[in-house]
Chain A
Amino acid sequence: MDLTKLLAICIVATALILIVNPHRSDYAVLISLASGAVLLVMTIAKIFPAIESFKERFYWNETAEECLLIAVKALGISYLSGFVADTCRDFGQSAMASRAEFAGKCAIFLLTLPLLYRIIELSVQIAKL
């Protein structure tokens, strides 16, 4: 799945959306969602082998692997919430878009709390030295 095919699909989907939009804007939303889903799956299929090989390289160090897992999860969360937020904003629902983004930010924040605790503990230990 090379890049040019992906970009071609984006252009064709945009053209289709613009054809349907003036008559039935609800179908435009659905076409946008459908093409967004297809493209997202394609890009994930391209990214993921790299992430897998990256994970194997870090198995020797416990904390590094854990941090890497959190980073990959944050990437997934931002990927999804960005997809939903952009689709909503495309069709004028900026309120819904900001809700989706805020939910994504909260999820990522919850994800990184354990790291924050560890940093604080480390700094306290260092201060005690």
Chain B
Amino acid sequence: MDVDFIFKVAAIGILVTVLNQLLVRSGREEQAMLTTLAGLVVVLLMIVSAIADLFSTVKTLFGL
């Protein structure tokens, strides 16, 4: 849960965008869609674990 977490997510987002454009331009739409989905799944898993950490921290700290 540090600053580089934000940059990691942003880097994956930009990378997937570029890959998507690359694959679409070279005529492989399905691979482009699959790459986007793969990137989305990876980022979602990271985000879910980070949000879970956040919620558990807030719960313990505020005694909810």
Interface size on B, residues (CB 8 A): 34
Check if A26 sits within 8 Å of B10, measured CB to CB. Answer: no
Q: Does A37 contact B (CB under 8 A)?
A: yes
Check if A24 sits within 8 Å of B36, measured CB to CB. Answer: yes
- Assuming A26-B40, A69-B63, A76-B61, is B13 touching A37 (CB within 8 A)? no
What's the least CB distance linking A42 to chain B, in Å?
9
Interface size on A, residues (CB 8 A): 30
Q: Chain A: interface secondary structure?
A: helix
Check if A23 sits within 8 Å of B17, measured CB to CB. Answer: yes
Q: Does A119 contact B (CB under 8 A)?
A: no
A20, A27, A34, A72: the one contacting B5 at CB < 8 Å is A34
Check if B10 sits within 8 Å of A31, measured CB to CB. Answer: yes
Q: Which residues of A contact B (CB under 8 A)?
A: 9, 12-13, 16, 19-20, 23-24, 26-28, 30-31, 33-35, 37-38, 40-41, 44, 48, 69, 72-73, 75-77, 79-80
